Structure 1
Amino acid sequence: MTANGTIWWNELHTSDENGAISFYTQLIGWRTFQLSGMDSLKPADESEPIYTVWMMGWNQAGGMMKLSPNLASKLPPSWLPFIAVTDVDACAIKAEALGGQIVEPPFDVANSGRFAILRDPQGAIFGIGRPGDFDQG
């Protein structure tokens, strides 16, 4: 498992997936593959959200997904770092107690882990997660 407190994943939330793919593949040289946004072991299916994984050679460089209507009302297209924690629910509650906000409450993604999206007291948005079988560490 990735060490607690480590930034272990970076994810682009965008309103224009095709435009982002064109930009980053030409700028950085990344390749992409797509899978189900609901279960990281399933192939992409148009009936579910699609998750794009950025690849540099054989290494995963991060991910991308379309901004959900809920998130689109709370943040602009942006990169979202995820910090590994051992208990997502407890960390989200503690963030609120420390003056932060829960932007997206804890949720599970099959074969990936448990996640939440938070805002710190200064307004910066970030994710927390407990990596599961799909650990990037």
Structure 2
Amino acid sequence: MTPATFDRSAQRFTQITLITLLAVGFIAGSSLSVVIAAGMLGLTLIAPSYAPQLIAYRALVRANVLHTERVNEDPAPHRFAQQVGFGVLVIGVVATSLGALTVAWVAGLLVLTLALINVTTGFCAGCFMYAQLARLRG
């Protein structure tokens, strides 16, 4: 795929929002944070202009509090990573609705951990999966 302009700061802001939401929910013992995180990430994927963290991000950019970091790279691996994260969070939502809170928290904490690794080290596990799958496809 041809590289496109991609705002890495918006991605980091979403990850930090997910990390914060899931960590606070875990500390508070509320699996509702897994449900909210899934909704937030789902909106990011299907209707980014309505995703609450991206609305906040754009407002902070307009207020000159945050700055964009536009890079020319293929956004597909990052989108794939978000889709995987969303899928894991959906498992958490289903588990929450079935009362399987341990499963819900495993899902939520997995997403939290992988987002934290990405924010702190730059390693994107979903992007790595994308590259490996692309390599297998040939």
Structure 2 length-normalised TM: 0.24
Structure of greater relative contact order (alpha carbons < 8 Å, 6+ residues apart): 2
Higher-strand-fraction structure? 1
Higher-helix-fraction structure? 2
Structure 1 length-normalised TM: 0.24
